[in-house]
Structures are given as C-alpha cells and as structure tokens.
C-alpha cells in the first residue's frame, strides 16, 4: 500500500468543500490514515514550497497558503499517489479536466483547491513535514 499527502488549501476550506473532496477520495477506496486542520506558518510554507523560491510568484503562494486554515490528509491505497494526482487534475484550473477536483472546483491557477504529493519521495518528506515521525 502506498501513502500520499493531500492538503485542502485555504480556498477549499473557505468555500466549505472539505467534505465533498474527502468523499471523492473515499469513493475511490482510499483510506484516511491521518487528518488534521491547521494554519500553515510562513516558515513551514517556505519550507514546503522551497522548490519554487526563485519563481516570481513565490511570495504570492506563501501569502495564499498562510491566509487561512488548511486540512492535511494522509491517504493510503493501491497506487495512491498516481490515483490522487489524476483525481486532482492539472495545476491550472483552466486546463484541468471536468470531473477532477480542480476541474470541478478551482477558479484559477493560483487558488487551485488542493495540493497532492507528486511522487513517493515527496510524499514521504511531506508526510513527515506535516505529521512528524508518528506515521
């Protein structure tokens, strides 16, 4: 079984989409191992998005991700990372297919409802980052 991390971003929480998003994962037989709501500190957001530090929109991402509560979820299932990435859809909401989370709920590229780990290495690091070694 594979584990992955999903973050329901501030726009998803603010728009009260938490239950609808979680339902989609459960419908695909993914198991929620851990879940918590919290607000990202600027330092933790910087660490999480360090790979984008040289991009001109880096500070906008930090402002957005620290603007309100988020929901952190560890999911487990067969090929969970690939399945969740397909369910989430393309980063740019305008390019995300209908039926994906972003295609159905996101309104623009920068506020795109969810984050999902993109590979096994990232999932391991991100789960550790947001849940510690208790996994």
The catalytic position among 48, 51, 59, 115 is 115
Residue 115 is a catalytic residue: yes
C-alpha–C-alpha distance, residues 105 and 97, integer Å? 11
Q: Classify burial at 100, counting beta carbons within 10 Å of its beta carbon; exposed 0-12, middle 13-18, buried 19 or more.
A: buried
- Pick from 65, 60, 72: which is nearest to 36 by CA? 72
Q: What are phi and psi of 113, to 5 degrees?
A: 75, -50
C-alpha–C-alpha distance, residues 20 and 10, integer Å? 15
Report whether 119 contacts 17 (CB < 8 A).
Answer: no
Active site residues: 115
């Amino acid at each position: 079984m594979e584990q992955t991390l999903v973050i329901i971003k501030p726009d998803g929480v603010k728009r009260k989409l938490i239950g609808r998003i979680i339902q989609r994962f459960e419908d695909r037989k993914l198991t929620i191992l851990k879940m918590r709501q919290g607000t990202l500190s600027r330092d933790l957001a910087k660490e999480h998005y360090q790979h984008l530090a040289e991009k001109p929109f880096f500070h906008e991402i930090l402002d957005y991700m620290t603007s309100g509560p988020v929901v952190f979820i560890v999911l487990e299932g067969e090929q969970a990372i690939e399945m969740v990435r397909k369910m989430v859809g393309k980063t740019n909401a305008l390019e995300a297919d209908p039926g994906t989370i972003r295609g159905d709920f996101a309104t623009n590229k920068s506020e795109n409802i969810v984050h999902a780990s993109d590979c096994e290495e990232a999932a391991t690091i991100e789960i550790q980052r947001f849940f510690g070694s208790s996994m």
